[in-house]
Amino acid sequence: MHAAGPVTLSLVIPVFNEEDSLDGFLVRIGQVFAREAQIGLELVFVNDGSTDATLDRLLRHQMDDPRIRIVDLSRNFGKEAALSAGLQTATGRIVVPIDVDLQDPPEVILQMVARWREGYEMVLGHRISRRNDSWAKQTSANWFYRLHNRIAEQPLPENVGDFRLMDRCVVDALLTLPESRRFMKGLFAWVGFRTTHVDYERPERAAGKSKFNGWRLWNFALEGITSFSTEPLRIWTYLGAAVSLVSFGIAMFIVTRTLIYGVDLPGYASLMVAVTFLGGLQLIGIGVLGEYLGRTYIEAKHRPVFLVRRIYEPKD
């Protein structure tokens, strides 16, 4: 059990070109926590290289709200890096990553805090439906979770995003992980700790547009699979062995038929099919190797996950 007294909560909020969403988000946060005297709130906004007026609007809000801290990254590093920057900056005893689009309702945070007081160190926000997502997004998400959880050593909880409550011990553990290519959902699951969840209905986005298109989601899925499983490499070993056995069987059949019936004219079409099929398999296998080799190459450089241009404290 965690103490029932006052606690400091840090909200980590990555933003990229979200000037239209900030006002409504801050109003909603103010409404939710206005009567929560036992929760000291810290708002850590991470400006991930926005090219609109996001930073200027944040600075204006900061003049009126001393709870706001702004981490301004030197360029756009991506949400995973921005989230890592926010976790590194947050000072609260408990930390909750949340987006400004209000698809993750701030009211759920109060339920998470209640579960944390029961002794849990991580409280997941579990979406009970994805009805506001497109059919393609729902289908691809379901297939990704099925594939990932079948081949990865540490499964991911389905229909759970970055929205969760973490105790300080969880945040400190995450900050010790050294990789520069960070798939945060996998890292959250990998560290473990005592975990539970709260269910919630995910509404439509309040303002602005999602920055994740189909191509980015595809690359994100590849990142998740290759970050926590070497099973794709093993699959190609088995596939190569299977193709070799089939080829050996076909060769024995041809030899036997030739000895019995004599030599006939080989078929051009079947030859082209065999060559292109095996060539395609080889190229795909090389591509899988390249995915892992590329990640190894990037990790070997030991570049930082992000670079901070400036941290704007309330008195700056």
Average pLDDT, the chain: 77
39 and 181 in a single domain? The answer is yes
Closest of 199, 112, 124 to residue 156, by C-alpha: 124
Residues 184 and 297 in one domain: no
- Say if residue 213 is in the same domain as residue 242: no
- 3-class DSSP state of 287: helix
Could you tell me if residue 50 is inside a domain?
yes
Tell whether 2 is covered by a domain. Answer: no
- Indicate the pairing of strand 39-47 with strand 7-15: parallel
Buried b (16+ CB within 10 A) or exposed e, 172-195: ebbeeeeebebbbbbbbbbbeeeb
Is the domain of 156 the same as that of 223?
yes
Q: Are residues 180 and 106 in the same domain?
A: yes
Look at residue 136 and tell me whether its pLDDT is greater than 60.
Answer: no
Summarize pLDDT for 211-269 with one digit per residue, the tens.
555 556 556 556 655 566 666 666 766 666 676 667 666 667 766 766 676 655 555 55
Q: What would the two tokens of residue 232 be?
A: 């794709």
285 is a domain residue: yes
The domain tally of the chain equals: 2
102 Ramachandran zone, left/alpha/beta (phi>0; psi -120 to 50): left
**pLDDT at residue 20, as a whole number:** 83
Count helices and strands in the chain by DSSP H and E runs:
10, 8
At residue 45 the predicted structure's pLDDT band, cuts being 50, 70 and 90, is very high
**In this structure, what token pair is assigned to residue 240?**
């190569």
Do 249 and 122 sit in the same domain of this protein? no
Range of the structural domain that residue 74 is part of: 7-228+305-312
- In angstroms, the Cα distances linking 35 to 31, 32, 39, 110, 164 are 8, 7, 9, 11, 22
In this prediction the pTM is 0.70
Please report whether residue 87 resides in a domain: yes
pLDDT digits (tens, 9 = 90+) for 160-198: 878 889 899 888 888 888 777 777 777 888 888 888 888
Same domain, 192 and 273: no
**Do 157 and 65 share a structural domain?**
yes
Give yes or no: residues 262 and 123 share one domain: no
For residue 218, the domain's CATH number is 3.90.550.10
Which contiguous run of DSSP H or E holds residue 232?
A: helix 231-261
- For the cut 80, the answer to whether the pLDDT of residue 111 exceeds it is yes
